[in-house]
Chains A and B, each alone.
Chain A
Amino acid sequence: MGQAGAFTTSFLEFPRVSFYSVLPADIISTVEFNHTGELLATGDKGGRVVIFQREQESKNQVHRRGEYNVYSTFQSHEPEFDYLKSLEIEEKINKIRWLPQQNAAYFLLSTNDKTVKLWKVSERDKRPEGYNLKDEEGRLRDPATITTLRVPVLRPMDLMVEATPRRVFANAHTYHINSISVNSDYETYMSADDLRINLWNFEITNQSFNIVDIKPANMEELTEVITAAEFHPHHCNTFVYSSSKGTIRLCDMRASALCDRHTKFFEEPEDPSNRSFFSEIISSISDVKFSHSGRYIMTRDYLTVKVWDLNMENRPIETYQVHDYLRSKLCSLYENDCIFDKFECVWNGSDSVIMTGSYNNFFRMFDRNTKRDVTLEASRENSKPRAILKPRKVCVGGKRRKDEISVDSLDFSKKILHTAWHPSENIIAVAATNNLYIFQDKVN
């Protein structure tokens, strides 16, 4: 087994592959590990959240160590109707973010287009029995029939995991929420929509501070929208947000109450040789993520992943081509709406490898140190237990080799938009439409 987080050839061998399928109708819309990696949450288009928990090590079943099983399922959001605008509000979960664990319960934020909710997920393995005023089924007893008093006792019961909504943060966004991010102070978080970013305190649901507002006075002058936002992992005053024009702004909340003026502005000058009819829309950033170290940010646009050093604003330090063979197909991708797909990107625990999804259920990993990259496929065929994931290759022209796939044979309906990487181990979760794949590095 390679070093934790390092990308070696052994990472490509996945003898234990777990594969989960949620209900066929529900497309997974977000995937997120918690801070320890013990839990993995998924949100889907139907407003449901499914949480998986990793099996504890056990001497009896060593080979089953580390598999993820369903821990809790709950309906987070329901479809709503905005009567003022005659609009339906989708229940699709756009993002889930975990809070760090501070007691026995787990807390997570889940959001749809308009409302953020704080959920508490807790275990109950004891049940009080022997109440005086009510019987075992909970029915009230006639006080006249009570002749003795007893002290209720806690008796063990089958483990029950319950999820309760602890806070509902509503009515703060005119536009559709695309991101939420928990601050490193663990007291506040932000939610971002197309034009505004709001800062919330976890305890207060009826107020939020607006910290970014890019809405122009005249909407006809609108040229860009906010596409993603994230807090710095260590500095609670710093956050970044990306735009549809391919730019990233870093803001410092100490500078002013309203962070419309950025502290840093990251933009790469456009390569004139790459200019095309669709240049503008493929430069839109779909995801932005700080590295765990807090020194770098990674951005994903339609064709590339870029790594930026916070200290250098004029260009990224690394650019990785995810599927450059699509550059000549942009017109068809516009026709079938694929050009609007919003891919996410993730860092591994040590920030040495980055991963993002593509089409045909392919996902790509790039090793920043060795500059090696690999294309893997999430499919049922290669997800049998002890299967080894074989690297895939797309043939861009000329003679196609035996196990290569040509660009025209790619299935654009099978897209991997959402992936997650365990915070410290080589375990990845890949959402392929309505299936969740969990790949784990082999154990010695």
Chain B
Amino acid sequence: MEVQKEAQRIMTLSVWKMYHSRMQRGGLRLHRSLQLSLIMRSARELYLSAKVEALDLEAPSPPARCPDPRLHPPREVEVPAACVPPDGEQPLPEPMDTQEEEETLVRCSPRPARVCRKRRSSSLSDGVDAGLVPSKKARLEEQEEAKDSSSEVPDCLPPPPAQAEGAFPNLARVLQRSFSGLLSRGPAASPTAPPARDAKPACRPADPMLSVLVRAVVAF
């Protein structure tokens, strides 16, 4: 749990640094962004592996008794993992290397309905109908998602229109929205999910951190 908390803290810190570096004079620096994304990826892997270990340790407990803290991490993984639509097909326009990031983010925002609906069954299985679906399947799924999110599998989403804005404007907006909640809670606090039972097919606003992190990682 300590490892998870530390990894989470580092992830939050990295997102903050990414946002902050965009505000610097001279704009976003590629090298710095790459380094931050490497740290974020390592932190995420650490977080996920620590979580998987924690879940393995608690494996014998019946699914119906799942306490909230144990549930939240899996859901956080599922939703953002699915929100990662790396674009393998989009040809790179010159010199707007920043466009991939923008497209990635733009795609994320209007498309959560589709991808989150896909995950709805498993999040439901973890939460409400936990008794109906064996917990082992949920674990397998989330491990798969973790693998999926780390591999750059191209998604078949249509490419969004090109944005002629400055570097990473959408990233800033997304981060700003995410951060208003995150910062008030502090870097060490885990994002708390709203009642999972309503299970709306939309990316819940309360777990923005990992989704933002994953997007930022994919962009670089």
Binding site for B on A (CB under 8 A): 79, 85-90, 92, 113, 174-176, 194-195, 215, 217-225, 227, 244, 277-278, 280-281, 284, 331, 334-335, 337, 340
Contacts and interface: CB of A to CB of B under 8 A. Distances in A.
Nearest to B166: A86
B29 interface: yes
Tell me the interface secondary structure of chain A in the complex.
Answer: loop
Contact of A219 (B31, B35, B39, B100): B100
B216 to A, nearest CB: 11
30 contacts: A79-B25, A85-B27, A85-B166, A85-B167, A87-B27, A88-B25, A88-B26, A89-B26, A90-B25, A174-B97, A176-B30, A176-B31, A215-B97, A219-B92, A220-B88, A220-B152, A220-B218, A220-B220, A222-B30, A222-B220, A223-B34, A225-B30, A244-B35, A277-B42, A277-B43, A278-B39, A280-B35, A280-B38, A281-B39, A340-B35
A388 to B, nearest CB: 40
A340 B166 contact: no
Contacts, number: 87
Contact of B167 (A87, A113, A217): A87
Contacts of B32: 340
Contacts of B13: 334-335
A244 B220 CA distance: 14
Nearest to A176: B29
B77 to A, nearest CB: 20
B165 interface: yes
Contact of B26 (A86, A176, A227): A176
B40 to A, nearest CB: 11
A277 B38 contact: no
A248 B135 CA distance: 49
Contact of B31 (A88, A90, A244, A334): A244
B114 interface: no
Given A88-B27, A220-B86, A337 B17 contact: yes
Nearest to B220: A222
B87 interface: yes
B130 to A, nearest CB: 34
Contacts of B220: 219-220, 222
Interface string B26-53: 1101111011001100110010000000
A243 to B, nearest CB: 10
B115 interface: no
Contacts of B34: 222-225, 244
A90 B29 CA distance: 12
B26 A90 contact: yes
B38 A281 contact: yes
B95 interface: yes
Contacts of B218: 220
Given A86-B165, A89-B26, A175-B30, A220 B100 contact: yes
Contacts of A227: 31
A171 B30 CA distance: 18
B219 interface: yes
A89 B34 CA distance: 20
A79 B27 CA distance: 13
Contacts of A224: 34
B190 to A, nearest CB: 19
Contacts of B43: 277
A26 B18 CA distance: 25
Contacts of B100: 218-220
A48 to B, nearest CB: 16
B94 to A, nearest CB: 8
A221 B152 contact: yes
A361 to B, nearest CB: 24
What are the 7 A-B residue pairs with the smallest beta carbon separation, nearest first?
A86-B166, A87-B27, A90-B26, A174-B95, A194-B30, A281-B35, A225-B31
Contacts of A331: 10
B173 to A, nearest CB: 14
A317 to B, nearest CB: 27
B35 A113 contact: no
B166 A87 contact: yes
B109 to A, nearest CB: 18
A224 B220 CA distance: 10
A25 to B, nearest CB: 14
A227 B30 CA distance: 11
A44 to B, nearest CB: 15
Contacts of A277: 10, 39, 42-43, 46
Given A223-B34, A278-B39, 8 more contacts: A85-B166, A90-B26, A176-B30, A219-B100, A220-B86, A220-B87, A284-B31, A331-B10
Interface string B115-139: 0000000000000000000000000
A99 to B, nearest CB: 27
Interface in B176-211: none
A89 B38 CA distance: 26
B106 to A, nearest CB: 15
A219 B17 contact: no
A334 B12 CA distance: 13
B23 to A, nearest CB: 11
A357 B8 CA distance: 33
Contacts of B39: 277-278, 281, 334
A43 to B, nearest CB: 15
A277 B26 CA distance: 29
Contacts of B88: 218, 220
A199 B167 CA distance: 27
Interface in B75-104: 86-88, 92, 94-95, 97-98, 100
A50 to B, nearest CB: 22
Contacts of B87: 218, 220
A85 B92 CA distance: 16
Given A217-B92, A219-B100, A221-B152, A280 B26 contact: no
